[in-house]
Amino acid sequence: MTTPFYVSPQQAMADRAEYARKGIARGRSVVVLQYSDGILFVAENPSRALHKVSEIYDRIAFAAVGKYNEFENLRIGGVRYADLRGYTYDRDDVTARGLANVYAQTLGTIFSSAAEKPYEVELIVAEVGEAPEDDQIYRLPHDGSIVDEHGSVAVGGNADQISSYLDQRHRDGMTLAEALKLAVESLARDNNGGERSLTAEQLEVAVLDRKRPQQRKFKRVLGRQLSRLLESEGAAAEDSSVAESEAEDSEE
């Protein structure tokens, strides 16, 4: 009779973590930055049907990298949780912290289970506050841990290099155009330190805009507004672009 092959629990968990990290690293990166009027989400994503950035609730948005079917299931679950909690209690009871805790429990359970493979996803849950100091950004790796982020964060692809680039250049009080320019510059850097050129057609961009008069603060930045912001260097161009987008925006 052959002796069963033994793998220590520590080695098994290390192997599962390495498997998940490799899957996440194959995806294109997403960056999230705070700017003066809210939180900016920028992803390298040429698809207009498969979103990496989505709205969850009034002031809360979700970004993810990794396997689309896995993080899409998590997104749908988050929307259901938020809708049920807001309906049962109060809309103000739906918070990014509560949603991050729910995601952490789900990812942690899956990661620890020997019956299924770990999810190859990394999530960001963000909530815009009344003031910049009230903004909340949480990063959730594949193992279900929660990291409270401030200023800027990157996930997927060469996230470590992008995060280092953002940490050196991001500052409080940036305009939307300045934050978008920095995000695109960081995404355009390859693993060897070189730079690529990213166009508006290759980007998925959205914001949580605290100054938006609607209760729902999530808005996608599309078309002419995105092109103008990528070319903009002044606040006047940004302001006119934002005003125009409010009139054109039909996606809520």
Here the tokens at position 103 are: 């995601």
Q: Give the per-residue pLDDT at 2.
A: 64
**Integer distance in angstroms from the first to the last C-alpha of the chain?**
64
Say if CB 17 and CB 143 are below 8 A apart: yes
**The whole model's pTM is what?**
0.87
Reduced to 3 states, what is the DSSP secondary structure of residue 129?
A: coil
7 within some domain: no
- What domain range is 118 assigned to? 27-247
17 within some domain: no
- Read off the pLDDT of residues 157-205 as tens digits, 9 standing for 90 and up: 889 999 999 999 999 999 999 999 999 999 998 655 567 788 899 999 9
| Rounded (10°) CA dihedral 82, 43, 189, 200 | -150
- Read off the pLDDT of residues 135-162 as tens digits, 9 standing for 90 and up: 999 999 999 999 999 999 999 988 999 9
94 within some domain: yes
18 within some domain: no
44 within some domain: yes
Alpha helices (runs of H) in 34-95, residue ranges in sequence order: 68-88
The CATH number of the domain holding residue 226 is 3.60.20.10
Domain count, the chain: 1
Q: How confident is the model at residue 88 (pLDDT cuts 50, 70, 90)?
A: very high
35 within some domain: yes
The amino acid that residue 151 corresponds to is G
3 within some domain: no
Here the tokens at position 112 are: 């620890």
